[in-house]
Structure 1
């Protein structure tokens, strides 16, 4: 998409479509009511389709609709959100099935909905109607600010991870909750508090803190600092977003399901933020894999003559599926920390076909690549294949190992699994790296000791 594109829409509810390559679109629109945005797979109105209506019903409310059917998926009161005499700025973003819309300069959406059957969005359409014509300026995204006010602004989260950049003098506060409100149970992470001298994890606004660590100079009013918050099976971790180093960690003996985050600054501090969950097209630097980037090439362990072939994958069939669907006869490769089965699956990413993990309740297959966990709503599941797992290590890939895909450079990728944080998780074995990579809590993690799938 170009940096700036002007579009005029008539009063006839007919979408004008343009392609998008990232997970967001930001725009300004001048219209008295009914600014409609469509998210589709192609440049036309066809299912599946998400529609975001801003300022509908006489500029009184906004809704999200799927496949042009009622009832609305979500509806909020937004009186006078549009104006026929001036441009108003908005953004619409999609990430892991979460559809969100917000005002320009605000990262927290005024409306959002999680699609249980997400699809790849490649086009955006805009139109006006119901007595309204519109002028649109479609443009790129921007940063946003928080005032000196101890009041959280909330947004939805996905995949157990929140990655963000913060610039401010002190008191960067983030909370994790079950609802878009300050309700118990609630985790609060306070970074650079007490005049930028220490950081804490607090539970349900109670003292003493669960974790307190000295962090002098952690945040900076003159430059953005990156942070990563992860939660999995009760384990809450706060990391340096550049190095991956753990700043704080706490295990909740009674964890709850986190659906929203909140952000704020206070105690004399204002902040600037970039929430990567709402800005997936920002092109920020990724965390590097936590495993070695190289290892000695194949050295056959006892009982394995020769070297591992790079040819056929053996028995089994890769079956297309989407949205968390599990084909009959799918191979169970492990289990999540909550006991839910993990199926052997793979998906395309950045020119590669990557073995990963599929948990039905997540609605996507996760694949590890470039230091991060990537959710793919369309994928392939191994059906009727082997379930013979052999322990090995490093680059010692046994001859005849089950081939599950290939890297963007054409290197064979095998199917492996490891035990980690109470789960048995499937992933990819890349022989030249000497590790098995898995997707976990938003990251790509590498393990030199693993099990590999054999025919």
Structure 2
């Protein structure tokens, strides 16, 4: 269901959370439809703005940090219309921003941001004599019946934005497996006929935390909850990562969370939209404080590395022990976790490819990280490196995933992927473990190679 809204002639942005690297919308306005791409729900640097139909509906531009000259300018006469909706899309990946028309694959504007930043929100507004009607494509929506049966979704990043519409009993479960077995941490928001909320651990009563929350949810509109779990601490906020705290509890999630599940019951049904966004700012900040693991067993200790000249480390992303630090061009961030050896130290890295987030190997002398996908080895100049962590390497085989294995990515189908490594041709090469396939895949010699016996990285 799209979000419908009106924007007056006042150039004040209304912000909406986004994920997946795409924002689809329709706009009906005579001129000057403006969008802001930001990390948080407000105007702040860094920020990219897209202006459609500016200068009397004659041209469109991309502007960086509200500073002229514009970084992109394109003649687009009559691109907007006051009498009909026109559809557009904005996409971003690895710092490349593209803008196109609905139904057209080719972009009419594109820009490469040299200092890429996480885009978590898009703001919309109109101005310069124009008001507008918008239809914004929301996240995938689904329903839950009155049956207390969980619907599962894989997660690996320590936070989620959840939109719920129902009269009561918004149930959210955090689990290490796709089942209702312990360990499990459950949230009941708007329970007891929409009067109270609780945090329940392993279904043990009394509940770990209970708060009165009268009229928290509604059957008439979506209520937005921001749920985060870092270092065992569970927090639920209203509206977004900077919203007021509804309920929180310490030492509630002391296990690796691989699945988020939702359900309704006790006379209630629900409609849901869930956003899993890896680049959430609050999660990043908290995880910078996460203590690291012991160095990986049987791997050389990570050397003390100087910060590469001219490089300032971006904020880490991800969750769990250690953190994932963005890097590029062969850069090895301080405290990078070693993962193998092939004539030089290899490090544990991951990169995005074909809608998947894939663990692989960083080869510093090559200036790239390599991941395996579709039978081939793919070099990636932009990647993330596991830092300030490590754990232990545990021998295993097939799809046997130890309970403490650390999720490090996900397939294009949403299945969690883990870090594995293989002793092959005189090398120790890290790669990805794909549980449903029963193999560890490594990038080697231009190929994707599969091994049924391997070592997997687990937390201590």
Normalised TM-score (structure 1): 0.42
Normalised TM-score (structure 2): 0.42
